[in-house]
């Protein structure tokens, strides 16, 4: 590559990043075997895009080879694709390189990537995998349901599959013998019926690589670099796939934030970033400047102090306290009115602003708030579903079944296709009288609206992967921030990866945030339960860090400001002390 062009691009990147030494260190690292700790608002996306642009400019991705970008979330994968498509041509303009950007990068989530491999080579494991796009997936987490889905499957095999699925959710290391048995059941008894499990899509890709090493070697040469975003959310099975793809002599860039690991309940591997650093022999780098809260000193301090608590839970080093916006009311009814008034005030002050009210979980307090919103005729969007809500899961399953039926007709993914799918799903729920289903139908419509705007240049195969992955991975919650309502009610877990101008976090009381069922408040975990003054010890440190991650994710959903609310008595009029998370070192109110 012409040295003048490289220098020009380097100067553009330096100007774009305003001399941020830590970001530039990642971008210009010559070896590029990195694991990067990148908190929310610290410029991760811009750093990632500039890194890819610089690798293209310096010939680190020579023709016809590619960079492979992977992530756990389908929405995050296509956000990368969009950012790359918009930003890299600007960095590479007038160089003769900008027009080949899409040819240089393959972006997908783990399931989408695995499906693309099975689409090409899966027939070597079983002929039905050649039609992977129309094979029906099913959840194998319950043996009885698996036996119903897979005609002729023995209870012994179904129970083994249930235990295998439970192991993944518990981040348990999978033995080679169990992995091979799982794949054998899929190949011999599941695939012949035109079925596949969600985990099976990834497991069979690993099996293919292991039994056809020439195919794996081809991809080692084809992908000169593997970049993985949101790495902290990776489960054990996906990590095994990562290790197959990332050899010790290849470029690899893993980006994530261990403090945003809140999917432990579905298998995100604990301490994965440190584990991967050792396993794959990567250099660790850190992004250290928070740009999101740069103009809000108290939010900036809050962000820093929470991270200090995560770094040293038993003795955090705090330079300066963060003063937070906390309002404590005498009872829950008064708190509910205060929350509503705060949301109204914020919207009135800024008509373009959106407000999210985030809850740890749904309960009596949430129901009381919704009743008050309805009574006061205040429009809001009900996004109060959880990842494992049966109705939320069922809705995605219905969408997927209709999607597969339409695909079998040979239709391309067009607006007509989207209308047909939406109409058929509406027909399924025509007798339902539930605001949750109304919300999910609204999210489905928002998804299609964004789909045909953001991915207008995506080819049909990629559109199939995007839509199918969205339904398979229960991903409609990722479109909550795009609904038209000024006020959105949702859970912290559903809000992960999303942003609103303002966030309100109510119920900052004992047993609510953190939730008693989470373990931290349980007997023996908290030494000062009576007044909710937490002392972190060897006994409760892991539970504390898990709850602190949820707390941190909730706070970092705000672009501008967070408002906390609590009441001295809960919805049943029982006295409640203020949450211990309002009393951790570095927080004052």
Q: Return d(Cα 585, Cα 310) in angstroms, integer.
A: 11
Contacts of 370 (CB under 8 A, 6+ apart): 380, 382, 489
What local confidence, expressed as pLDDT, does residue 28 receive?
Answer: 96
Q: What are the distances in angstroms from CA 202 to CA 191, 196, 244?
A: 14, 11, 12
What local confidence, expressed as pLDDT, does residue 365 receive?
Answer: 76
What local confidence, expressed as pLDDT, does residue 309 receive?
Answer: 96
What local confidence, expressed as pLDDT, does residue 430 receive?
Answer: 82
Q: Return d(Cα 241, Cα 236) in angstroms, integer.
A: 9
The mean pLDDT values, 10 residues at a time, for the chain of 589 residues are 83 93 96 95 93 89 89 77 81 69 80 93 96 89 94 96 94 92 97 95 97 97 94 94 93 95 80 95 96 94 96 94 96 91 92 91 80 84 83 91 92 94 92 81 94 80 84 87 90 90 94 77 69 85 90 95 92 83 93
Q: Judge whether 583 and 513 are in contact, CB under 8 Å.
A: no
What local confidence, expressed as pLDDT, does residue 512 receive?
Answer: 86
What local confidence, expressed as pLDDT, does residue 527 receive?
Answer: 67
Q: What are the distances in angstroms from CA 19 to CA 10, 11, 24, 174, 367?
A: 11, 10, 7, 45, 49
Q: Judge whether 556 and 505 are in contact, CB under 8 Å.
A: no
Q: What are the distances in angstroms from CA 163 to CA 137, 146, 153, 159?
A: 18, 12, 15, 6
Q: Return d(Cα 263, Cα 260) in angstroms, integer.
A: 9
- pTM of structure: 0.88
What local confidence, expressed as pLDDT, does residue 523 receive?
Answer: 63
């Amino acid at each position: 590559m012409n040295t003048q062009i490289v220098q020009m691009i380097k100067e553009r990147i330096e100007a774009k990043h305003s001399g941020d030494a830590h970001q530039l260190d990642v971008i210009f690292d010559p070896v590029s075997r990195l694991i990067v700790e990148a908190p929310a608002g610290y410029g991760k996306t811009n750093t990632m895009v500039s890194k890819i642009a610089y690798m293209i400019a310096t010939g680190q991705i020579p023709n016809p080879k590619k960079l492979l970008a992977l992530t756990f979330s389908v929405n995050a994968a296509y956000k990368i694709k969009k950012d790359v498509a918009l930003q890299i041509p600007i960095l590479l303009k007038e160089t003769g390189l900008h027009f080949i950007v899409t040819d240089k990068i393959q972006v997908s989530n783990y399931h989408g990537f695995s499906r693309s491999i099975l689409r090409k080579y899966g027939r070597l494991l079983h002929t039905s995998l050649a039609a992977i796009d129309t094979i029906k997936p099913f959840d194998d987490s319950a043996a009885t349901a698996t036996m119903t889905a897979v005609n002729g499957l023995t209870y012994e095999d179904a129970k083994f599959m249930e235990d295998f699925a439970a192991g993944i959710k518990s981040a348990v290391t999978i033995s080679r013998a169990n992995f091979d048995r799982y794949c054998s059941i899929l190949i011999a008894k599941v695939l012949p019926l035109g079925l596949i499990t969600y985990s099976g899509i990834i497991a069979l890709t690993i099996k293919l690589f292991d039994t056809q090493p020439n195919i794996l070697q081809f991809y080692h040469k084809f992908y000169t670099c593997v970049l993985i975003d949101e790495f902290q959310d990776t489960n054990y099975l996906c990590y095994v796939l990562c290790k197959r793809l990332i050899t010790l002599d290849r470029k690899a860039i893993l980006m994530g934030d261990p403090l945003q690991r809140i999917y432990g309940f579905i298998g995100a591997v604990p301490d994965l970033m440190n584990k991967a650093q050792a396993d794959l022999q990567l250099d660790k780098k850190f992004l250290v400047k928070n740009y999101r809260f740069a103009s809000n000193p108290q939010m900036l301090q809050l962000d820093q102090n929470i991270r200090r608590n995560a770094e040293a839970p038993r003795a955090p080093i705090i330079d300066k306290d963060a003063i937070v916006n906390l309002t404590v009311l005498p009872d829950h009814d008064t708190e509910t009115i205060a929350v509503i008034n705060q949301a109204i005030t914020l919207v009135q002050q800024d008509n373009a602003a959106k407000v999210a009210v985030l809850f740890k979980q749904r309960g009596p307090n949430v129901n009381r708030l919704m009743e008050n919103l309805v009574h006061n005729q205040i429009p809001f969007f009900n996004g109060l579903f959880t990842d494992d809500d049966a109705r939320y899961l069922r809705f995605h399953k219905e969408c997927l079944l209709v999607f597969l039926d339409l695909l079998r007709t040979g239709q391309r993914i067009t607006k007509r296709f989207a209308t047909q799918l939406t109409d058929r799903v509406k027909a399924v729920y025509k007798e339902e009288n539930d605001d949750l289903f109304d919300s999910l139908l609204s999210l489905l419509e928002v998804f299609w609206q964004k789909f045909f705007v953001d991915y207008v240049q995506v080819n049909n195969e990629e559109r199939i992967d995007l839509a199918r992955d969205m339904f398979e991975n229960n991903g409609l919650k990722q479109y909550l921030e795009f609904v038209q309502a000024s006020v959105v009610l949702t859970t912290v877990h559903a809000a992960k990866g999303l942003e609103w101008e303002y966030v309100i976090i109510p119920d900052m009381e004992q047993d609510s945030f953190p939730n008693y069922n989470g373990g931290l408040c349980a007997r023996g975990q908290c030494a000062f339960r009576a007044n909710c003054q937490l002392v972190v010890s060897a006994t409760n440190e892991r539970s504390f860090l898990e709850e602190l991650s949820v707390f941190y994710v909730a706070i970092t959903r705000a672009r501008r400001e967070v408002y906390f609310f609590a009441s001295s008595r809960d919805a049943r009029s029982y006295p409640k002390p203020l949450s211990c998370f309002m009393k951790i070192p570095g927080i004052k109110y």
